[in-house]
Chain A
Amino acid sequence: AQRVTQPEKLLSVFKGAPVELKCNYSYSGSPELFWYVQYSRQRLQLLLRHISRESIKGFTADLNKGETSFHLKKPFAQEEDSAMYYCALTTSGTYKYIFGTGTRLKVLA
């Protein structure tokens, strides 16, 4: 069965500290992996996806097929990074997203 696991419900870090939000998935085929973010009082929006291999707002994520992981990283957290982060996958050729339960990131001043 397809599944996305985000083990941390809440992650608190100090401003300027490195951040790593963990995401593991299970899927037998070739999924497309995403990170979505929801800032306070805003709608859910795409942060980044593995196929574009880009850095958005200083965040990067590398797909590790051997460990079936897609962890989100940022070297220096900012207060404006405080938000709810969701890891998600879609299966090839579909628009059906499987979401993890989310990790709330709190960046402390």
Chain B
Amino acid sequence: KAGVTQTPRYLIKTRGQQVTLSCSPISGHRSVSWYQQTPGQGLQFLFEYFSETQRNKGNFPGRFSGRQFSNSRSEMNVSTLELGDSALYLCASSDQGSGNTEAFFGQGTRLTVV
């Protein structure tokens, strides 16, 4: 099976712009989660989607949003970018059908805000 795929791998944006990141989960996985990874804060949970519904949300401002499509692919959007949004954004998928809570991670999208 192909692993979790995130696109693009690298992004440079200017403050105030918005950005959309994409995640394709492992085939058959219906749960997709997003994390922000920074040197100071480590990995922080953003949100989790299952069957196109957001089930859990972390403590991030409303500028961070996401969605999931019927094919389980997910997108994450950040509006009005701030310098502090520079981070590695990781997507993970899980096969909830098996009851297995293991998360399979993508390589991440490195976002730099200038």
Taking beta carbons and an 8 Å cutoff, which residues of A are in contact with B? 32, 34, 36, 43-46, 49, 86, 88, 90, 94-102
Given A43-B106, A49-B102, answer yes or no on A95-B43 (Cβ-Cβ < 8 Å). Answer: no
CB distance from A101 to the nearest CB of B (A): 4
Chain B contact residues: helix, strand, loop or mixed: strand
How far does the alpha carbon of A98 sit from the alpha carbon of B105 in the complex, in Å? 15
Q: B48 to A99, Cβ gap below 8 A? A: no
CB distance from B10 to the nearest CB of A (A): 15
Given A94-B48, A95-B101, answer yes or no on A86-B43 (Cβ-Cβ < 8 Å). Answer: yes
Q: B33 to A95, Cβ gap below 8 A? A: yes
Q: B103 to A95, Cβ gap below 8 A? A: yes
The residue in B35, B50, B102, B108 that gathers the most chain A C-beta atoms within 10 A of its C-beta is B102
Given A95-B56, A96-B33, A96-B48, answer yes or no on A43-B42 (Cβ-Cβ < 8 Å). Answer: no
Q: B3 to A96, Cβ gap below 8 A? A: no
Chain A residues with CB under 8 A of B48? 94-96
Chain A residues with CB under 8 A of B3? 43
Q: B42 to A102, Cβ gap below 8 A? A: yes
CB distance from B4 to the nearest CB of A (A): 8
